[in-house]
Structures are given as structure tokens and as C-alpha cells.
Amino acid sequence: MKAGNSSKAALALGVSILLCVAPGSVPADVGGGKGYPATPWRIAGPRNVQEIEKAKALAAQYQTLSMTSDTASGDGSDVLRLRRVTLRVEQPRADDSVGYALVGKSASGETVTLSFSEIESFVVTSRKAATLTLSVTVWPDISPQQLLDKQPTYQQLSAGYRRTVALEVSTRSADGRPLVFAEKGEFGSMLPLEKLAAGTPGNFYGEHPHMTHPLRFWWAIPSVSNDPEYPYRMIPAASRGDAPPAAVVVKLADR
Amino acid sequence: MDSEHIRDEVLARLEIERAVREQLTRQQSEPSVPSGTGIRTWLDSKFGLLLIGAVISGVLVPTFQFTQEEIRWHRQNRYNNLERQLGSMRESLKQFIAVQALSAELYDLGLAVLDTPVAAADRPQREQWRKELRALQARRVQQNAVFAATVFYFPGAAQQPIRTAWNDLMRPAQQLQACVGELLGDSGPLSGAKKSADKAVDANEVAVRLDSSLAEVNQAYERVLSMLRQQLIEVEHESGKFQ
């Protein structure tokens, strides 16, 4: 009898292990589609830290910044969404570089660079003539090496790995031209940093989870994306039952 | 001249002066009587009143009624045009969503190819997928043309931005189609005598490219959709003013 129980337990354990290590991503039945997770590691996970670091550098170029005014109606109509957001000068010249990070001074005066791929959100806490003080929430605050070693689930990752940094950023470039958050592409909306009032929040995860770009989620290794709670899924927009998105109205620029 | 004569003359003058004063006093105390001359008299006359009545009822009233009718006709005409335009714009929106449904079908076909192990996908199966892809390509070209033709129904100022956004959507949609085509190609990245780890990496790359194309299609679709919707709201609002 004991032998029978132990063999059943071994079988159950074996099945569990098999399920855990089964290759490929787990599709969820979301929005009428298969809903594969949006991740750069869809079929094969990263083989080494360098691959994650490469994915993290690339992910910085695919982030979406959602800016909501403090008088938002809540229906999404007054959210300015900057897809593939960059930080650049307002009227760039051919030789101007484009940034994918917030660079500023911390409270202790040291220069801090926060890549867009590791920022969850920020709030403008105060505003001076040529600088803004931001309270930036860094997430996921985990190194590629830790990610590979710990293999966290999405729930573990979202519950922790978060810290807040106070950052003083300049609203103008070194040569005095205004800096803007700008969207990539011909229709690119822009939001000058000088227009941001104290209290304005910015969110890098404010987009619909089915409208996101898979290359954003450098941290979504199989242990994360196979979590059933992982919300970012690949669903064709036309097959979603949602109402068409509200028109984008830029209100923040009118301040 | 004797004094008697002078006295009589003074008395006569005094008499005249008294009479004049009396008359003046009477005229001042009594209300003034209309003079009864000129246009006023003519207007007061029966003929005048008849003529004025004729002008009002024969010229002014019809002119006023005609102007009113004309305004009403213009409003009705404008309302009908807006209603027709709204109907066409709604039809255009429908055609646009149909275009996107084809992208969804393309993505699903790509997933089907990707999810089927290479060993399980025999030649007839792959040939069947290729046929589906060709059919989808043909339908996409037709549907694109149908939608592109309906952009004319949108207000003039909005047409060019819609066309540009639409062209912006074409690029990732084309990428998505190319990606599915690549998955079905005989010399595709999944075939060949590679090691299984390399194959997995290649397969991952293709899968991510497929997903990335879909994400870009989704985002470009949302942009066009929000533009169309905004225009629809504006025309609906304008139409509402006539009700």
C-alpha cells in the first residue's frame, strides 16, 4: 500500500515537473483568440545573460508612455499615448542623438540613468525653471543575471522588484533646446518636458495589454510569461470585442 | 390831426391787439389740430391704406415665406447630405474592420504553421496552407481597394491624414504577410539540418517576428480607427444640430 502511494506521488511529481519544463509558451483563451504571451522569448528562453541584456537594450526602444492629465475623465479619452517613445530635442537635426532613458541627478547629486525598459511609472513632484523633479518607480528592478538565476513567475515579479528613485532631470538639452518625449513615426505626438506640471503622472504600462509590442518585455522569460496571470497577450485588434479606442486628445500641452 | 382822431386810432389799434391776443390764447389752450397735409394725409387715406396692405400681402409676406422656405430647404438638403455621408462613413469603417480581420486571419494561419511540428506538417498540408495564404493575399488586395475607395466620403481635411495613417498600416501588414510566407517557404528558417537548439532559436525568432508584426498592425490599426471614429463623431455632431 505504501509502495502504491509512493509510486502515485512520484507519478504526480513527474507529471508536475514535466508540465513545468514543457517547452513553448502557454496560450491563454483570451478575447476569443489563442492569446500567446507577448514576449521576446516565445518559443525558446534566453540561453545566457548576454541575450537578456541585448533584449533589455532593444526593449528600451519599444516602450509606450501614457500621460494622463490630473483632471482625467477616466474614459481614456484624455490620455496621450506615445508609442515607441524617445527623449529628444524638439526640432532635431540630422546629427542629434535620440535617447531611450531618463538621465538626471539623484538626491545625493550623482548622475543616474534609468532606461525606459526598467521604468514602470513616474510622477512630476516639482518643477523649477529648467528642471523637473520626478519620482520614478523602477520595475522590474532585477538584473539579467538575477532574472536568469531566480526564474520568477509574473506574480512574484509584479509583487516585488520595485524601488522609487527621486530624479532631477533637465527640461532642456546641453545647448538649450527644449527636450520632448516624442513618439516614433510620422504621426508622432510630442510632449515638451517644460509642459509637465507638478503632479502629472506618466505610465509605461498604461496601454491595453493586448496592444503591446512583444519586444518590450525583456523580463518575460518563460517562467514569467507561462504564469497564467501574465496579462500581456497577442490578440489581433479586430478580433477583440472592445469598443474602438477613444480619440487621442492632447490636453497636457495646453497647460 | 386833432386829438379826437388820434384817440380813435389808438383805440382801434388796441382793439386789434386784443383780438390778436385772444386768438393766440385760444390757439395755445386748444390741442393742435393736425395739419392734414402731405404724405400723412395720403397715408391716412383709404387708397393709401389699400396700397400698403397690397404691398405687405403681395410682396413682403411671399418674400419672407420664400426666404424661410429657402433656409428650410438648405437645412434639409444639408441634413440629407450629412446623413448620406454618415452612412458612407459607417460603411467605410465596416470595410476597414474587414481589412483588419484579414490580418487576424493571416496571423492565425502563421500560428497554425508555427504550432504544427515540422514532422507533422506533410507536403499536402503545407500545400493547403500555401493555398490559404494565396487566397488571403488576394482577398486582402481586394479589401484594401474597397476601403481605399471609401476614404473620399470623409471630410476633405481629414482625407490626407487618414490616407497617410492607412499607408502606415500597410507596411506592418505587409510584414505580417511576408512572415507567414516565410514560414511556409521550403527554404524557411525551420528547415535544414540544424541542431535542435539552433532550430528552437530560429523558430523563436520567427515567432517573435510574427508577433511583432501583429503588434505593429494592431497599433497602426488603432490609430486609423481612432481617426475614422473621430471624424464620424464630428459629422454625427454636425448632423445632430439639424434635428
Contact B204 A238 (CB under 8 A): no
Q: Each residue of B146-173: pLDDT tens digit?
A: 999 999 999 999 999 999 989 989 999 9
Cβ-Cβ contacts under 8 Å for A166 (sequence gap 6 or more): A106, A107, A125, A133, A134, A135, A136
Query: Which pLDDT does position B63 carry in this prediction?
Result: 93
The C-alpha atoms of residue A227 and residue A159 are separated, in whole angstroms, by 13
Answer whether A233 touches B (CB < 8 Å): no
Angle between helices B156-184 and B61-115 (to 10 degrees): 10
Q: Cell 532606461 belongs to which residue?
A: A115
Residue A27 near residue A36 (C-beta atoms within 8 A):
yes
Residues of B in contact with A237 (CB under 8 A): 100, 104, 217-218, 221-222, 225
* Chain B closest-CA separation from residue A86 CA (Å): 17
pTM (predicted TM-score) = 0.73
Q: Which backbone phi and psi does B213 adopt, to 5 degrees?
A: -60, -40
Answer whether B100 touches A (CB < 8 Å): yes
How far does chain A reach from its first CA to its final CA, in angstroms? Answer: 76
* Chain A closest-CA separation from residue B78 CA (Å): 26
Query: Which pLDDT does position A18 carry in this prediction?
Result: 39
Residue B225 near residue A244 (C-beta atoms within 8 A):
yes
> What residue ranges of chain B have pLDDT lower than 50?
186-193
For residue A21, give the amino acid letter.
Answer: V
For residue A63, give the amino acid letter.
Answer: Q
The C-alpha atoms of residue B88 and residue A233 are separated, in whole angstroms, by 34
The C-alpha atoms of residue B73 and residue B61 are separated, in whole angstroms, by 18
Query: Which pLDDT does position A19 carry in this prediction?
Result: 38
Contact B100 A236 (CB under 8 A): yes
In this structure, what is the dihedral angle of CA atoms B109, B110, B112, B116, given to the nearest 10 degrees?
A: 150
Indicate left, alpha or beta for A113 from its phi (over 0: left) and psi (-120 to 50: alpha). Answer: beta
Query: Which pLDDT does position A174 carry in this prediction?
Result: 87
Query: Which pLDDT does position B115 carry in this prediction?
Result: 84
Q: Quote the cell numbers at residue B138.
A: 488576394
Answer whether A234 touches B (CB < 8 Å): yes
Residue B90 near residue B231 (C-beta atoms within 8 A):
no
Q: Quote the cell numbers at residue B7.
A: 384817440
Query: Which pLDDT does position B132 carry in this prediction?
Result: 93
Contact B208 A185 (CB under 8 A): no
> What residue ranges of chain A have pLDDT lower than 50?
1-4, 9-24, 29-32, 71-74, 243-255
User: DSSP of A180-199, one letter per residue?
Assistant: EEE-SSTT--EEEGGGPPTT
Query: Which pLDDT does position A238 carry in this prediction?
Result: 65
**Which of A39, A42, A242 to probe by mutation at the B interface, max B CB count within 10 Å?**
A42
Residue B147 near residue B165 (C-beta atoms within 8 A):
no
Strands A65-68 vs A190-192: parallel, antiparallel or unpaired: unpaired
Strand positions, DSSP E, chain A: 36-37, 65-68, 79-82, 86-89, 101-105, 111-115, 119-127, 131-138, 163-170, 179-182, 190-192, 201-203, 233-234
Helix (H, G, I), strand (E, B) or coil at B105: helix
Bridge partners for A31 per DSSP: none
